[in-house]
Structure 1
Amino acid sequence: MELIIGIILLVTIFALLLIGVPISFTVAIASALAMLVLFSADVAVFTTAQQMLSGLDSFTLLAIPFFILAGVIMNNGGIAQRLINLAKVLIGRMPGSLVHTNIVGNMLFGSLSGSAVASAAAVGGVLTPTQKKEGYDPKFTAAANIASAPTGMIIPPSIALIVYSTASGGTSIAALFIAGYIPGILWGLATLIVAYIVFKKKSYGVNIDKISLKEGFNVFFSAFPSLLLIFIVIGGIVAGIFTATEAAAIAVLYASILSFIYKTIRVKDIPKMLKETVEMSGVIMFLVAASTILSIAMTFSGIPPALSEIILSVSDNLIVILILMNIILLLIGAFMDITPALLIFTPIFLPIATELGLDPVHFGIVLVMNLSIGMITPPVGSVLFVGSNVGKVPIESLVKPLSLFYVAIIAMLLVVTFFPQISMFLPNLFEI
């Protein structure tokens, strides 16, 4: 029976993906077919509906639509431009300054919006025309925008980390959030170093005029209210003042007030933003519901323990096993979007990680980093396509400039993987 269920799941999923069926429907259909094999039709239908509803019956999951709405508000509320201005002040005198500004802007805006795609579109969209006017290589600037955008998937608040917490059975969101800071910043630093080396070698000049101390303070104070959102959300969660879900609701309220103060959002814009939020949230929530059934079907199929046995049989060396897991996760990320990949593969790989002695928080950061790299790699990298469109350059022309960033980012991934102290330093410091 286990073999039959496993075959049904794998064949159905690969067949449906091959003909272009959306991943959410693919997961739901494959899971439903497996349930029909396990139970009679009436029991299978009842169990499927019941489990899908129970999978969504979670207070923690309410944080996802709230954080999405907060990101949509910030994306439409002029916050991106203020953060870009701040980035210019911070590193605007470096060679290739506009690219460095792009990278730091992605780190700042991505950490607030929690969306790599929104960050690549907002920050890249603002800076690309200026970069072209200043004579920057459009292929390299697009590559830098793409490579740095996923930092917001790791630097909190991160929707991906909330999804991992749910899929892992309740790993502390507070611990995951605070653990993401150093790895996310390291990712950003890796892209900054690549950009610095390239522009230093090409002797690009500084493209931003020197500003006075007074102008610098004005830019900082203009961006400070936006940055304050990070301290309110993360500080409140770490201090135990409110939960991640309550923090998400506060983020929506704060971003709304800020946008209305800036007069960048009008009342007539609200329905459009709510519609965008509902569409994005609906996709994620349906995936969560469908993955609940998939996890049951996979339990009966015996796939997780079988895969665990295969991986652990390759070697008893921890380093070899971790490298193998990273390779598998990088391949998964290249062919599957981050949300379904987290929901499907967390229950498979987390038991292996815990058996190896890895902390679930540390493994969550490693898992999200791996799958975030998939967002910037072909063939289905969403950020890759958005960044290519924003930069108005064909994807095939980005292979060479992106390769430099891939090397640096994967190097940081390995550092985070083999030195758990990096991701666990802050959670241990705050005793979370």
Structure 2
Amino acid sequence: MISALMLVLFVVAFVIGIPVSASLVLAAGVAMLLVGQDLIGIPQHMAASVRGLELMAIPFFILAAHLMMQLGMIRKIFDFAEAALGWIRGGLAHANVLAGFVFSGISGAAVADAAALGSIAMKEMPRAGYSAPFAAAIVMSISTLGAIIPPSIMMVVYAIMADVSIARLFLAGVVPGILVALSISALIAFYGAFRLTPMPDPPAFDGRRLLRTTWSALLALFAPLVILRGMSAGFVTPTEAGVLASLYALFVGCVERTISVRAVYAALRDTVESSAHILFMIAASSAISYIFVAQGTAASIATAFGDANLNAVTFLLLATVVLLLIGCIIETMPALLISVPLLLPTANSLGIDPIHFGVLAIFNLLIGIMTPPMGIGLFILSSVSGIRFGRLAWAAIPFVLLLIGMLLVLTFVPRLTLWLPDLLLPVNS
């Protein structure tokens, strides 16, 4: 009962405009007063939740992404993708997918992906003759790759909560990320084949431009390989991989002579702001999680599912619906921090691999933010781009349905997520 009241209070506080982190602390504080506990427990739990060394990976991956943006590497990746795919029908849209896929292997955050690619795509695509809502829908769908392709900040947080290997969870996102990127490109090709949206006639293939842009972007294109190979081979831990990514970005900036004091300062400033926001949200959510544990909420949910004799597939389908609804109304990070402590014990009791469940949960919440009619990502992008909400929501529907279809495929075929980590980092190794 206390847990339910706490969640209701959190949602009400969030809806009336109180910041997410403050809403979490407020709800936890009221719950602790109702159960007769001292409020001093809130700052104690908040401080304890962000002491783990594993969390150091978050600011370093964020720093690497901001350095890449400030030093012009994202533009070079986009130019390479456009030269490689721009000559086919819908080439600029396909180039966005390829650029998003590569940048996802650097950024670690869906928001960073949307910001970096959106700043380019939302100018280039309408200028080339694509509809603005179609371009925005592509940017939103591509941004989901930022949290499932390693490195991923949400995966770091989930791995700490679920007590699983961060490196294995990173590897588990590779195959789903590739499949999602290919499916988005397939949908774009479908649009082009049946002329369902305005697409300009593609230019002729320019081999010289492809060679020139490949050479220009070569060092930036190697960044995801350096990060992933370092972790899969066991040379570096995920936290060290974040440091390596940041140092690599600085190295590329020095080699290409794009580095400057102003650019590094801007990257550091943005990193501090983003990291503080994420870490404070983690700290605030820890108070909520403490109430769930103290009240036995997660255990009660697991018992209820056990009494209902539901199998693992049924639970995953129900969890999909719940997570999609949560993702529609709450930002992905607090949604993950609130939902995982409630659902993971049941998943474990049903024999669901926590690595597999983590990929599904994160992907689920990302789809939720772009799902009409309530997806908060739609409202944010509508206000930023000036596109009417109705037009944006209508353009997003096919992409949302596609992503839900991919989610169901991953749900029913767990080997798609577990094959690569079992191959490169087996549990018994």
TM-score (norm 2): 0.92
2:113 is aligned with 1:119: yes
Query: Which residue in the other structure is 2:180 paired with?
Result: 187
Matches within 5 A, 1:350-361: 350-361=344-355
Any idea what the Cα deviations from partners look like across 1:210-259, whole Å, max 9, x if unmatched? Answer: 112x5423322222211221122121112221211111111111112223
The question of whether the paired residues in 2 share the 8 Å contact of 1:145 and 1:387 is answered with no
Query: Which residue in the other structure is 1:280 paired with?
Result: 274
- 1:121 CA displacement: 2.7
2:10 is aligned with 1:16: no
- Structure 2 letter corresponding to 1:282: A
Measure, in 2, the Cα distance between the counterparts of 1:346 and 1:353.
Answer: 10
Measure, in 2, the Cα distance between the counterparts of 1:31 and 1:127.
Answer: 41
Q: Quick one: structure 1 residues 389 and 52, their matched pair in 2 at CA, closer, same or farther if it must change by over 3 Å?
A: closer
The question of whether the paired residues in 1 share the 8 Å contact of 2:231 and 2:237 is answered with yes
Query: Which residue in the other structure is 2:24 paired with?
Result: 27
Measure, in 2, the Cα distance between the counterparts of 1:387 and 1:109.
Answer: 20
The question of whether the paired residues in 1 share the 8 Å contact of 2:102 and 2:224 is answered with no
Of stretches 79-88 and 371-380 in structure 1, the one that deviates more from structure 2 is 371-380
The question of whether the paired residues in 2 share the 8 Å contact of 1:99 and 1:144 is answered with yes
Query: Which residue in the other structure is 1:232 paired with?
Result: 226
Measure, in 1, the Cα distance between the counterparts of 2:169 and 2:334.
Answer: 19
Matches within 5 A, 1:169-188: 170-188=163-181
Query: Which residue in the other structure is 1:289 paired with?
Result: 283
Query: Which residue in the other structure is 2:138 paired with?
Result: 144
The question of whether the paired residues in 2 share the 8 Å contact of 1:102 and 1:124 is answered with no
Of stretches 368-377 and 157-166 in structure 1, the one that deviates more from structure 2 is 368-377
Measure, in 2, the Cα distance between the counterparts of 1:140 and 1:216.
Answer: 26
**1 or 2 for the larger relative contact order (CA 8 Å, sep ≥6)?**
1
2:202 is aligned with 1:207: yes
Pick from 195, 198, 209: which aligns with 2:191?
198
Query: Which residue in the other structure is 2:95 paired with?
Result: 101
SS in 1 for 2:130: coil
- 1:205 CA displacement: 5.4
Measure, in 2, the Cα distance between the counterparts of 1:112 and 1:6.
Answer: 38
Q: Quick one: structure 1 residues 356 and 285, their matched pair in 2 at CA, closer, same or farther if it must change by over 3 Å?
A: same
Measure, in 1, the Cα distance between the counterparts of 2:257 and 2:374.
Answer: 37
SS in 1 for 2:369: helix
Pick from 304, 319, 324: which aligns with 1:325?
319
SS in 2 for 1:376: coil
Matches within 5 A, 1:261-276: 261-276=255-270
Of stretches 412-421 and 20-29 in structure 1, the one that deviates more from structure 2 is 20-29
Which blocks of at least 5 consecutive residues in structure 2 are unaligned? none
Q: Quick one: structure 1 residues 6 and 263, their matched pair in 2 at CA, closer, same or farther if it must change by over 3 Å?
A: same
Measure, in 2, the Cα distance between the counterparts of 1:270 and 1:251.
Answer: 15
Any idea what the Cα deviations from partners look like across 1:252-283, whole Å, max 9, x if unmatched? Answer: 11112223433444202333332221121112
- 1:144 CA displacement: 1.5
Any idea what the Cα deviations from partners look like across 1:311-368, whole Å, max 9, x if unmatched? Answer: 4555524333221111111111111111111111111111111122111111110011
Query: Which residue in the other structure is 1:50 paired with?
Result: 44
RMSD: 2.2
The question of whether the paired residues in 1 share the 8 Å contact of 2:329 and 2:376 is answered with no
Q: Quick one: structure 1 residues 202 and 14, their matched pair in 2 at CA, closer, same or farther if it must change by over 3 Å?
A: closer
Measure, in 2, the Cα distance between the counterparts of 1:285 and 1:353.
Answer: 26
Measure, in 1, the Cα distance between the counterparts of 2:8 and 2:96.
Answer: 43
Measure, in 2, the Cα distance between the counterparts of 1:256 and 1:225.
Answer: 11
Measure, in 1, the Cα distance between the counterparts of 2:176 and 2:125.
Answer: 28
The question of whether the paired residues in 1 share the 8 Å contact of 2:324 and 2:367 is answered with yes
Matches within 5 A, 1:297-376: 297-314=291-308, 316-376=310-370
Identity %: 34
The question of whether the paired residues in 2 share the 8 Å contact of 1:121 and 1:387 is answered with no
- Structure 1 letter corresponding to 2:164: T
Which blocks of at least 5 consecutive residues in structure 1 are unaligned? none
- Structure 1 letter corresponding to 2:44: Q
Q: Quick one: structure 1 residues 82 and 8, their matched pair in 2 at CA, closer, same or farther if it must change by over 3 Å?
A: same
Measure, in 1, the Cα distance between the counterparts of 2:42 and 2:385.
Answer: 44
Measure, in 1, the Cα distance between the counterparts of 2:374 and 2:258.
Answer: 33
Q: How many residues align?
A: 424
Measure, in 2, the Cα distance between the counterparts of 1:315 and 1:89.
Answer: 55
Query: Which residue in the other structure is 2:123 paired with?
Result: 129
Q: Quick one: structure 1 residues 362 and 131, their matched pair in 2 at CA, closer, same or farther if it must change by over 3 Å?
A: same
SS in 2 for 1:369: helix
Pick from 397, 403, 413: which aligns with 2:407?
413
